[in-house]
Every structure is written in C-alpha cells, then in structure tokens.
Amino acid sequence: SDSITVGELAKRMGVKANELIAELMRQGSMVTINHPLDYESAAILAAEFNHEVENVAFDEETILEVEPSKEAEDNVEDLEVRPPVVTIMGHVDHGKTSLLDAIREANVTEGEAGGITQHIGAYDVELDGKKVTFLDTPGHEAFTAMRARGAGVTDIVILVVAADDGVMPQTKEAISHSKAAGVPMIVAVNKIDKPDANPEKVKQELTEFELVPEEWGGDTIFVEVSAKQQTNLDTLLEMILLQAEVLELKANPNKRAKGSIVEARLDKGRGPIATVLVQDGTLKIGDAIVAGLHYGRVRSMTTATGSQVKEAGPSFPVEVTGLGGVPNAGDTFHAVENEKAAKDVSHHRQSKQREIDLSRNSKVSLDQLFEKM
C-alpha cells in the first residue's frame, strides 16, 4: 500500500533509524522502528534530511488516464473538428484590446442579454455557423506562462501591428514566442483608418522575419483592419477559419474532459472560480475534476455571455465553480472517475509541492546562514 516503515525509510535514505525516531520524537510523536508512515509524513520527514521521496505506489497518470499519444489512441471516427483557439499578440498600444473588443461586440455567439459580455478570460464568436475561440488575455506573459506549464492552448496567433507605427520591440518578441511554440501567425495590420497609416511599410518590415504576404510570394496571411471602425473584421475571422482548416484541428468530445486553466480567482460569495478551456473530451456538471493542486466537483458552468450550460466540449471556454481552491493560469485540469480519485491526485500534488517548498526554505536558510558566517 501507500506506506513505509520508519526503519525502511531510514535504510533507503542511508541514515540511522534512530535519527529518524529522534526527529519524530522532536516533532512530538513517539514511534518504533516498525511504525508505518504514510507518503505525506515520510516526505516531510525526509525533507528535514534534505531527501526527496517519490511515491512509486501512486501512479497519477493512470488515474488521469493520460495517454502519451492521445490522437493515436482515439478512433479516427471519434474525432470531430473543433474550433481554433486564438491569442492576440503585439506591441503595446497597437490595438490588441480594441481588436478583441471589436470582434466580440460584432460577433458574440449567444447575443441574448443584449450582447452583454463579461470578462472571463476567453470568449467564442461565430461566423457562418463556425466558431472561433479567443483567449482574452492578450500579452506575452499569459502566453509564455501557459507555454511554460506545457499548455499548448493556442492554435493560431494574431499578430497585431499598427499601420502607423510598424514593427516594434514587442512585435519582435511576439514573433519569436510564436515561432518557438510552433504556432502559425496571421498578421492583422491595424489602424488603417489613420491618415498616416502605411500598411505596405509594415509588410516590408515583416519580411525580415519571414512573414511574407501571399501577394509577394510568401505564405503568411495579412489582413488590413481597423478595430476602431470595425473594418475587415469578418475577413480576419474568415482567414482564421481558413488557417484552422489547414491545421485540421480535431478532438474527441466523447470522453472525460481535459484542458487548461485560462484564469482563476476567489469570489467572496461563490468561492473559487476558474475559466477553463476544454481541449479534449466534454466537461459536464457534476464531474469530479483536478485542476493544478486543487480538486472539486463542477457545480456550475457559465459562458462569456452569462449563459448557464450543462456541458462544454473541445475548444469551449467556460467559467467553472466547485473547486476547493484557486488554481494557477496555465495549470491543466482533468475530469476523473470520481471525487475520491480527484482528491487523491490533488493531495499527492500538494504533498509534492510542500516538499518543494520545504527544500526551498531549507536552502534559503542555509544560504542565509552562510551569509552571516
């Protein structure tokens, strides 16, 4: 099972059992050499001696049913086309927020409630019956944070470049982030309504970064837009859908959901609230889920337009309540068999995290000690 005796732990750590017994005594528990320690206690005790404990009896991946190559595991006939997930990047003041707002205002899927949308970190729009999901957290930090956690959430990057300003430092950063992530870019040359707009100059500058428009013999899609006057926004959406078709984005909606946390916060009345983006499977009310270090049961799911839904399929962003704590943006989430499994995974992760924190603390105090010497 999931425990180890004091004697066995001492042997594996290469210390005398008496040392462990003494430490446990110091912590207030009188035990013998045959006393069983659960994983958590063993990990904490070992950390005191700068050892790490790995819980081999606990196989998180089995519980989460994580398969290394899920696409290969799914039957081809189970895979369905899913909407593209899009992130808008670009230099400050080039119009990222304006573009996100303009697209949302013009195209919200569920326009009831007077088209009033709330910021949940992501939203979806519809063009000719086809959906596009936008991550509503423009900026490189969000993108980098998600990627650092291995969350390859974004399918397409919209690179916004102001036609009156051209390529700027954060434009270059966005390009290198997208390239590093292997995510294709569509260039939105914004602010074409401005008298001093020079879209040709922008195109010229971007050729240096191998972003060459089709009319110049390249394969990058450029769309000239004005977020302010809502010019060519439908063309931009069409181009996104075109690019998505090329990417052949598919997922299997008929299994337990998994995906990423887009953002999360603590609401005084409703508790932890997390915007999740389902990347595979379908998330349902009542599902037991693990998100980062936390777990719970899906109590409610709300869309960006405030509708309550009972299910959320691939590429669909929803605000979820029912978690026991607030996960981090970029954390993964998994729906699991039952609440017990969710709890086990969560506790396992928390004790691992505690070990990391403990070893960090002990390192810090050692450093401080040496500083004083």
Binding residues for GTP: 90-97, 136-140, 190-193
Among 19-27, 91-99, 103-111, 118-126, the segment contacting ligand GDP (CB under 6 A): 91-99
Site for ligand GDP in 161-190 (CB under 6 A): 190
Q: How many CA within 13 A on the CB side of residue 210?
A: 6
Q: Spell out the residues 6+ positions from residue 48 whose beta carbon is closer than 8 angstroms to its own.
A: 23, 358
| Stretch of residues binding Mg ion (CB under 5 A), selected from 29-37, 92-100, 321-329, 343-351 | 92-100
Least distance (Å) between residue 101 CB and ligand GDP: 8
The two three-digit tokens of residue 252, written as one number: 């299997």
Binding partner of 235, given ligand GDP, Mg ion, none, CB within 5-8 angstroms per partner class: none
Residue 359 lies near Mg ion (rule: CB under 5 A) = no
Pick out residues in 71-90 that bind ligand GDP (CB under 6 A). Answer: 90
166 Ramachandran zone, left/alpha/beta (phi>0; psi -120 to 50):
left
The residue (of 92 and 242) whose beta carbon lies closer to ligand GDP is 92
Q: Applying CB under 5 A, which of residues 97, 204, 230, 300 lies at the interface with Mg ion? A: 97
The per-residue DSSP string of 2-69 comes to -EEEHHHHHHHHTS-HHHHHHHHHHTT----TT-EEEHHHHHHHHHHTT-----TT--HHHHHT--TT
96 part of the interface to ligand GDP, by CB under 6 A? yes
Distance CA 125, CA 111 (A): 10
What distance in Å separates the CA atoms of residue 123 and residue 58, rounded to the nearest whole number? 37
Q: Is 219 an interacting residue with respect to ligand GDP (CB under 6 A)?
A: no
* Tokens matching residue 3: 């425990």
CA dist 45 and 299 (Å) reads 37
**Which positions from 222 through 261 interact with ligand GDP, judged by CB under 6 A?**
226-228
**Which residues make Cβ contacts (< 8 Å) with residue 296, sequence separation at least 6?**
272, 288, 289, 322, 323, 324, 342
94 interacts with ligand GDP by CB under 6 A = yes
Nearest to ligand GDP of 45, 88 (CB atom): 88
User: Total binding residues for ligand GDP by CB under 6 A?
Assistant: 15
- Applying CB under 5 A, the residues found at the interface with Mg ion are 96-97
- Applying CB under 6 A, the residues found at the interface with ligand GDP are 90, 92-98, 190-191, 193-194, 226-228
